[in-house]
Amino acid sequence: MRIPRRPRPLRPREQVLGRRAPGDSFLHRVPSGAKVLVLALVTATVLLARDPLVSAGVVGVVLGAVVAARIPLLMVLGLIRRLWILLVVLVVLQVMLNDPLTAAEVLSRILACLLAAQLLLLTTEPADLVGVLRRVLAPLRPFGVRPGRVALAALIMLRAIPYLADLFHLGGQQARARGLERDLRARTVPLLLGAVDHARNTGRALNARGIEEV
């Protein structure tokens, strides 16, 4: 089957959060609230069942969904590449302290939960998750929680992450230039002061738009 070619859209600069799988599959189109709900149910099932067969089944279903949605398998398995040392240490500890069966159970449980979460992440925009958070918090309104406020803080957070990541990188380079790459203080203080400054400017920008008390 030949897939019609579309012009490639400009890619936004998203180094930190931009791990979204390309495409427009059924997984991309399902409302993000439903995806979060399914993920929560799957995680709860795996955590409560504590059964290697259930966990392995979830891993299978997740990989099946990945293939069905035509998400590059490497993007999902990249998670394991980033965490493999931790996973190896876990298995060794389990075999030493418990029996191999428990090791298999713990490993499959962690893999199932993390892979399912990774699938959500690859098919959902971060800003959509803020909307989900807002809806989740709506029932807490009588207890003094203001979902709009939380969503505003969450959006400010999403905006601040790339800025602060740049700042942290820059601070590391400056520390290295001074021969202080092993000095934790030299690497974190510029980041902290920059964060306070950014928060001050954001607060002023909100005030300038007439938002004083949210």
Partner 1 sequence: MSKPAAEASSTEMTSRRHRAPITAQDIALIGVFAALIAVLAFAPPIPVGNFGVPITLQTLGVALTGLVLGPWRGAAATGLYVALGLLGLPIFAGFVGGFGVLAGPSAGYLLAFPLTALVTGFIARAVLSRGPVRWRVPLLFLAAISGSMLVTHPLGILGMSINLEVGLREAFFFDIAFWPGDVVKSLVAAGAAALVHRAAPWILTRR
CA 87 – CA 107 distance, rounded (Å): 7
8 Å CB contact between 167 and 132: no
Fill in the per-residue mask, 128 to 167: x = in contact with partner 1 (CB under 8 A), - = not in contact.
-xx-xx--x------------xx-xxxxxxxxxx-xxx--
Q: State how far the alpha carbon of 48 is from the alpha carbons of 51, 61, 94, in Å.
A: 9, 18, 19
Between 25 and 180, name the residue whose CB sits nearer to partner 1: 180
Measured between alpha carbons, how far apart are the two ends of the chain, in Å? Answer: 53
Q: In the set 30, 75, 147, 198, which binds partner 1 (CB under 8 A)?
A: 198
Count other C-beta atoms under 10 Å from residue 105's C-beta.
Answer: 21
**Per CB under 8 A, 54 contacts partner 1:** no
**Per CB under 8 A, 69 contacts partner 1:** no
Name the residue with tokens 């189109």.
29
Q: In the set 102, 147, 174, 180, which binds partner 1 (CB under 8 A)?
A: 102
Judged by CB under 8 A, the number of residues near partner 1 is 79
**Per CB under 8 A, 98 contacts partner 1:** yes
**Per CB under 8 A, 180 contacts partner 1:** no
Between 7 and 151, name the residue whose CB sits nearer to partner 1: 151
8 Å CB contact between 78 and 91: no
